């Protein structure tokens, strides 16, 4: 039971970091949620839910974002990331 709770905390920590880094990249690029959604073939609502931790993003979508923003995929997992 303790391992499950620790794993859940670990997951939540990194999902929060990922969502914050997506928002930071989007805002720094000057993209609206709608524009970013179009670039990775999803809706504005999906981007909003990911950024607000209401939905988790797939690895495939995360890789698309890394390509669009020209960052190493590990960027999304780094607290207060600055790129490569």
Decide if 37 contacts 44 (C-beta within 8 A). Answer: yes
Confirm whether 12 is domain-assigned.
yes
The Cα 58–Cα 30 span in angstroms is: 23
The Cα 69–Cα 47 span in angstroms is: 15
Confirm whether 43 is domain-assigned.
yes
Is the overall model pTM greater than 0.85, yes or no?
yes
| Domain count within the chain | 1
Decide if 7 contacts 45 (C-beta within 8 A). Answer: no
Confirm whether 63 is domain-assigned.
yes
Q: Which pLDDT tens digit goes with each residue over 36-75? A: 999 999 999 999 999 999 999 999 999 999 999 999 999 9
Q: Which pLDDT tens digit goes with each residue over 4-31? A: 889 899 999 999 999 999 999 999 999 9
Statement: residue 84 has pLDDT above 80: no
Q: Residue 65's domain spans which residues?
A: 2-77
Tell me which of 1 and 17 has the higher pLDDT.
Answer: 17
Confirm whether 83 is domain-assigned.
no
Write out the E strands in 2-75: none
């Amino acid at each position: 039971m303790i391992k499950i709770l620790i794993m859940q905390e670990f997951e939540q920590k990194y999902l929060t970091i990922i969502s914050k880094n997506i928002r930071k990249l989007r805002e720094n690029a000057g993209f609206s949620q709608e524009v970013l959604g179009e670039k990775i073939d999803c809706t504005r609502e999906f981007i909003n839910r990911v950024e607000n931790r209401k939905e988790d993003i797939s690895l495939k979508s995360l890789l698309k974002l890394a390509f669009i923003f020209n960052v190493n995929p590990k960027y999304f997992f780094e607290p207060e990331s600055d790129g490569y």
